[in-house]
Structures are given as structure tokens and as C-alpha cells.
Amino acid sequence: MLSPGEAKGAIARAGSVLAAVIACGVTGGEVRGQPVSFSETEFATWSPIIVLGDNPGPVTGQVGGGNPSPGYVMQHQLTATTPAVTGSYAFHAGSAIYRPDVSGPIRSVSWSEEVSYEGGTFPTGDGQGNSLMCVQDGRVFYADYFYVGTSSIWRVHARSGLTAADFVAFRAPFQPPGVLHPDFSAQASAIRFGVHSANSQGPGGGAYVAAARIDNWMVTVVPCCPADINCTGDVSVQDIFDFLAFYFASDPRGDFNGVGGHSVQDIFDFLAAYFAGCP
């Protein structure tokens, strides 16, 4: 804790720096944190770690044909069970785990993969559903859902700039997208990235099998630069205002150096980072 004298001194020093910054017209520039990339071309460690849905048919995931091999094959085997719509939804993942407390809050996520349809008895059309997926605190989220189709020709699917708002909590089956999103802040729990595969059938639908392939899967997590304390993607005087607000509100972001709670040193360390800029 700061004594009143220390706090007053800190405010005065921060205010002096702030005045100098404003006088110099420093507004910072376009910055990005250091990206963290996960790629999985061998898929040796992948498996369907979470299977959701109300169709009891099994879901498997295994190393198979790729572009070039090996890739990963996701197979859904649906049973003819019911007059209602049923589906099976799986989260396949390996070791792509991002820790915001270590690598920083997430500004955006990009991903790319190649997909093709391997085969099965699915009649026509959608083939299999696919999306980027992540798990945090046991809750499953997905983003950018699309259909693989039934072509055996490989095609690239890629997105960039995905934010926490683009990921919605998974609720099966056929519920509207949830309003819950993952936590991308610096205090958030670890996030495991992977792939969502899905198949479903309408009322009275018969049993079928559908298998889709993925390969060259890559996820890149772009963290906020530390000096970009409000995670807007650039560094400006507003970051100083926001840092001081966090500091005096005892917000965790005010403990800039992560050491010893909130102390005057956090102000010095933030300003040092601010003037050092971002890559």
C-alpha cells in the first residue's frame, strides 16, 4: 500500500510525465504484440476430447489422409433414433494452449486450415460442419462455422481478426448462439484451441456416416502489446489515462509488473514500457 505522501508523489510524477507527453504531441503509432502461433501438421496428439450432442452415435478422430499426408480425419456416425432433430458435435484438439497470464491479453485470433470430404453415406450437400473452437474453464466456444461440403478436393479456409465476441458458447442442439464469450483478458484462464466437427439429421432421418479431413491447421494469437494497456491496437495518451485509472482503482491491470501488488514501481514500469513503444 502507498502512504498518502507516496501516492501524492506518484500522482505528481505521473502528471508531469503526462503533461510532457501531451506537450510533445506524442500519440504513438500502430503496434502489434508478438504473435504466438500454433500449428499441427502431424496430428499425432489430436483426439476428440469433448463430444456433445444428443445423437448417441460415436465420433472418432484419427490421423489419416492429408495434403500432403498425414492429416486428420473426423468421422461422425449417426444412429437413426428419433422423430426429432439430433446431432453430434465434437471438439478435437492437441496441445495448442494459450495462457493470457503468461503471454498477455488477446487482441485477436487468426486461423487457417485445409479441408476436404473423405466420404461416407451422407447423401448430399453440407458434408460436415467445421469451425474454430476453444475451451476455457471447461466451457466450449466456437467461431466462424462453415460447411466442408462433399467434395474430395482440398480447399483453404481462413479467417483473421477474430475477437472474443466472435466466439460464442456452445449449446446443443440447434439452440441460438449463446451470449457468453471467452475471456481474453490478462487475468483469464488458459485457452485450448482446436477444431469443431458436427453432423446432424432431421426428424426421422436414417443412420449415416460422414467423414471430413483437415490438414495444415494453424492458429495465431495476437496479444495486446503491454503498453497498449486498453488493448485498442495502438499506443496513445489514452493508454496513460487508462493505466492510471486502473492503478488507482486497484484494477489488476494497474499491477503492471505483476510484482508486489500496486506500487509506485508499476507507474514507472508502465511509463518505461510506454516510451519504449511496441513492436
Catalog residues that contact Ca ion under the rule CB under 5 A: 228, 230, 232, 239, 255, 257, 259-260, 266
C-beta closer to Ca ion: residue 109 or 224: 224
Of 30, 211, 191, which Cα lies nearest the Cα of 103? 191
Q: Extract the C-alpha cell encoding 184.
A: 481474453
Burial pattern 238-263, b for ≥16 Cβ within 10 A else e, equals ebbebbbebbeeeeebbbbeeeeebb
- Closest approach of Cβ 237 to Ca ion, in Å? 9
DSSP annotation of 234:
B
C-beta closer to Ca ion: residue 40 or 239: 239
- Closest approach of Cβ 10 to Ca ion, in Å? 12
- Closest approach of Cβ 152 to Ca ion, in Å? 47
C-beta closer to Ca ion: residue 76 or 107: 107
- Closest approach of Cβ 183 to Ca ion, in Å? 19
* Closest residue to Ca ion: CB criterion: 232
- Report the alpha-carbon distance of residue 70 to residue 90 in Å, rounded: 21
- Report the alpha-carbon distance of residue 107 to residue 100 in Å, rounded: 11
Of 73, 69, 158, 159, which Cα lies nearest the Cα of 116? 73
C-beta closer to Ca ion: residue 113 or 239: 239
C-beta closer to Ca ion: residue 40 or 255: 255
- Closest approach of Cβ 239 to Ca ion, in Å? 4
